[in-house]
Structure 1
Amino acid sequence: MFLNVYGAIAFAAPLDLTIHQWTILAVFIGICHSLVVESVIMKKIGLSNTYSYTLRITVGFIVAFITALMPSQWFSSTIVENSFKVLEYSSITDLLYNSFLNSMILSVKIILLIIVLIFIMDFIKSRKFIQDSKKNVSKGFSLTVGIFLGITYGAGILIKEVESGRISKEDIFYIGTFLMICHAIIEDTLLFVIFGADFTMAIVIRTVSAIIISYILLLIYRKNQDKRI
C-alpha cells in the first residue's frame, strides 16, 4: 500500500497465485498503492491526507472482497494456463538454476513492458493538444488523463486551476475521489496480467466501482454542503 505497484508484484510473484487471486490483487493494489506520494498530490488540490488514506484503503478492501466473492469461472488468463507448470527438480543446483533463469525471463518481460508503456506515455505527453490543454483544463480532460496516465498527471494538471479558483470544490472532490479509485488502469493492470490476472475483469471492476462510489460520495458531499448553508 505504501510502496508502488512494482514492490507489491515483487512480493507476490513467488506465491503461485491463481488467476482469480492475481485479479483480486490487481484490483486492490491498483486502488491502494503509493499512498504517501499520491496523497501529497491530492492534498495540493484540496483533499486531505486523512480522506485520501481512508478512502483508498477502505475502498481497496471492499472492492477486493467483492472481487473475491465472484465465481472463479468468471476470470480467465491464457498466460497462466500456458506459462506455469508443476516442475520437479533433481537437485538443489537444478532448482536454483531454473529459478534464476525464470526470474531473468520474467525481469526481461517486465522491463520490455515498462519500456513500451513509458514510450507511449512520453509520446502522449509530447503531443501539442496535451501541451495546449494545460492552459485550459477541463474536468473531462483531467479525468481522462488520470484514468490512463495516473493520479500524478490527472490531479497534477488541476493544481493551477485550483489555485486560480476556476474549478469548484465539488468538482475537485468528485475528480479526486474518482481518480483515487480508478487511475492508470492500463499500465497498472498490464503488470499484473504478466502473472495471470484477468485484464478485462480488473479494469471493469475498478471502473464500475469508481463510478458508483464516487457518485454516492458526491451525493453525501452535497448534502453536507446544503446543511452548512
Structure 2
Amino acid sequence: MLKTMVPVMILVRVGMEFGMVDYLGTVLEPLMGLMGLPAAAGLVLAVGLLVSTYSAVAVMISILPLLSLSVADVTVLLSVVLIAHALPLEQSISRRAGISFIFSSGLRFVVGISYGIVLNLIYSKGGWLQEPMQLSWLPYTPSIDETWLQWGYSSTSLLFTLFWVILALIVFLKLLELMKITDLIGWLLSPLLRLMGISKAATPITMVGVLLGLSYGGGLIIKEAQEGKLSSRDVVLSLSFMGICHGLIEDPLVMMTFGAHWSGALLGRFVFCVAAMTVISRLILMVPEDAFNRFLYRPGPAVKAAV
C-alpha cells in the first residue's frame, strides 16, 4: 500500500502546485463527461488504469478539494477503476498465458467506460445517491491551501488510519476463507460461466481469479496452458472474464470504504460484466481460427514450448 500510494500522493501534490491536474482534466474532460463526472476526476481514472486501485483512491483523496462529488459520482468513478486498472501489470500476466495484450487491455477499457456510462444514466435518471460523498473515517479534511508541512502531517495521519481499515478488511476476508464462504460463493456462481462458453475444465480456475484476483487465476491459467490442459479459446474466454471481473470480494470492499455504493461497486459491476461477457463470448466463438490466432491468441514462449 505504501509503495503505491505514497509516490502517487507526492506526484499529485506537485501536480496541483503547478496546475498539471487542471491540464490533464481538460484533456480527459470529453471522456469523463460521458460518465457525468468532473474533468479533474480524469486523473483518478488515468492513475487507476496505469498503476493500481490503491493509487487511484490515493489520487481521489488528494484532489478532493478540487472536486464536488456525490455518492453516485464516486460509485461510477471507482466502479470503472474496478474493471479497468493496472493494465500494464495485470495484462502482462494475461499476455504470458497467450491472450493478446491489445485485445485484453482494450476489452477492459471499453467495458469499464461502458459500465460507467450506463451506471451514471441509471443513477441520474432515478435521482439515486445524489447526496454529497462523505468519508467520516478520514482523520482530516483535505484543503487546497495546505502548506507542505501540513500536507505531510495530514497524509501521514491518513495512511496510519487507512492501515487499520485495510487490516480489518483483510481479517474479514481471511475469516470468509476459513469458514469456506469463499468456496461456497464460487460454487454458486460457477454455473454462470456456462453462459459465457467457458468449459467445465476452466471453471474452477476462472472462479479463483474472479474471487481472489487476476494474479492468482492468471498464474493457474498459465500453468494449465503450458501443460496443454486448456484449449486456446478457453484461455481467452477465462482470462477475458477474469480481466473485467476479478477480486470480486476484496476490491469492492476497498472501494466501498472510500465512498462507493455497493449497488454499483459490487452488484451492478458483477451483473454488467456477466451480461457483457455473455455477448463477447458469442462473438469470440464465432471468430475464424486464423483470425483468432492472429488477433486474440498469441501464446508466449513457455506455452509454445509446451505445445
> Fold-level match, TM-score > 0.5?
yes
Map 1:181-192 → 2, pairs under 5 A: 181-192=244-255
Change (3 A) 1:37 1:92: closer
Map 1:213-224 → 2, pairs under 5 A: 213-224=276-287
Task: Tell me the C-alpha RMSD between the 2 structures.
Answer: 3.6
- Structure scoring higher RCO (CA < 8 A, sep ≥ 6) equals 1
- How much has 1:150 moved relative to structure 2? 0.5
Q: Counterpart of 1:165? A: 228
- State the alpha-carbon separation in 2 of the partners of residues 209 and 36 from structure 1: 24
- State the alpha-carbon separation in 1 of the partners of residues 53 and 135 from structure 2: 23
Change (3 A) 1:74 1:224: same
- How much has 1:71 moved relative to structure 2? 2.1
Q: Counterpart of 1:31? A: 83
Change (3 A) 1:161 1:203: same
Paired residue secondary structure (2:246): coil
CA contact (8 A) 2:169 2:253 kept: no
Match of 1:3 among 25, 28, 51: 51
Change (3 A) 1:228 1:192: closer
- State the alpha-carbon separation in 2 of the partners of residues 193 and 228 from structure 1: 41
Q: Counterpart of 2:8? A: none
Letter in 2 for 1:70: I
Change (3 A) 1:115 1:76: farther
- How much has 1:76 moved relative to structure 2? 8.8
Match of 2:114 among 46, 62, 65: 62
TM, length-normalised to structure 1: 0.76
Q: Counterpart of 2:298? A: none
Change (3 A) 1:76 1:54: same
- How much has 1:110 moved relative to structure 2? 3.5
Q: Which consecutive residues of structure 1, in runs of 5 or more, have no partner in the other structure?
A: 125-136
Moved over 3 A (4+): 72-77, 79-84, 96-102, 108-111, 117-124, 226-229
Change (3 A) 1:142 1:48: same
Paired residue secondary structure (1:70): helix
CA contact (8 A) 2:173 2:250 kept: no
Paired residue secondary structure (2:229): coil
CA contact (8 A) 2:209 2:218 kept: yes
1:116 aligns with 2:179: no
CA contact (8 A) 2:79 2:264 kept: no
- How much has 1:113 moved relative to structure 2? 3.6
CA contact (8 A) 1:19 1:76 kept: yes
Q: Counterpart of 2:162? A: 107
Q: Counterpart of 1:212? A: 275
Paired residue secondary structure (2:287): helix
- State the alpha-carbon separation in 1 of the partners of residues 224 and 75 from structure 2: 36
TM, length-normalised to structure 2: 0.59
- State the alpha-carbon separation in 1 of the partners of residues 137 and 121 from structure 2: 26
1:66-99 alpha-carbon deviations (Å, 9 max, x no partner): 111122544499x948668xx8x9x979xx5995
Q: Which consecutive residues of structure 2, in runs of 5 or more, have no partner in the other structure?
A: 1-48, 180-199, 293-307
- State the alpha-carbon separation in 1 of the partners of residues 161 and 135 from structure 2: 16
Q: Counterpart of 1:132? A: none
Map 1:73-152 → 2, pairs under 5 A: 73-75=127-129, 80=134, 96=150, 99=154, 103=158, 106-113=161-168, 115-116=170-171, 119=174, 138-152=201-215
